[in-house]
Amino acid sequence: MVHVFLLGDSVFDNAAYVGGGPDVVRQLQALLPAGAQAGLRAVDGAVVADVAGQLARVHSAATHLVVSVGGNDALGHIDVLEEEANSVATVLDRLAAIRASFEAEYRTMLRTVLARRLRTTLCTIYEPRFPDPRLRRLAAAGLVHFNDVIATQAFAHGLPLIELRLVCDRDEDFANAIEPSETGGAKIARAIARVLAVHDFEQGRSGVFVR
């Protein structure tokens, strides 16, 4: 019987942002077949390095893991978007260094997750809805580097990937600039439920899910 655990940050741990409505894990539970269970180990504000601690709290009955993390790691570098540079090469070099650091941390995290030998799904990072259009545009461009790491690791390990940039693609999907609303959470829950229902984990082949 399916027992799925959600790991990561406030993409899943969004109870504080839905005004008393159902959070992602409750919405997912409502979509699962009778007898299946969903558990939350994700923590608002978590970064990639925190996932190992969350994983330690996943008990032996678990069958599936879904990981959505990296947005807070990216936010830690948001100052880069306003840094002055004397050439495009300087900017690209700075972004390449940030990407390399994130990739090393993400790969370490994923090795720990995969060591549990559970059916695992990864999620990309959605684009924040900053009120300032310029900042929103710059953030989306910067997140490409983080999402490339996540997608590459999903494909390298034959894991399904939920493309959250297409799942949460409207302003109404967000309670604020970076947290999913009840509407967005419902879309995330449906995407997870679809992966669990249709993806053949035994084949070890990736698939991309957008709804």
How confident is the model over 77-94, as pLDDT tens digits?
Answer: 776 655 565 676 776 777
Structural contact between residues 9 and 69, judged by C-beta atoms closer than 8 angstroms: yes
Separation of first and last alpha carbons in the chain:
23
pTM for this entry? 0.94
Structural contact between residues 36 and 26, judged by C-beta atoms closer than 8 angstroms: no
Domains defined for the chain, CATH in brackets: 3-209 (3.40.50.1110)
Please choose, from the candidates 34, 37, 68, the residue with its C-alpha nearest in 3D space to the C-alpha of residue 51.
Answer: 68
Average pLDDT estimate for 96-108: 93
How confident is the model over 148-193, as pLDDT tens digits?
Answer: 999 999 999 999 999 999 999 999 999 999 999 999 999 999 999 9
Please choose, from the candidates 143, 63, 140, the residue with its C-alpha nearest in 3D space to the C-alpha of residue 102.
Answer: 143
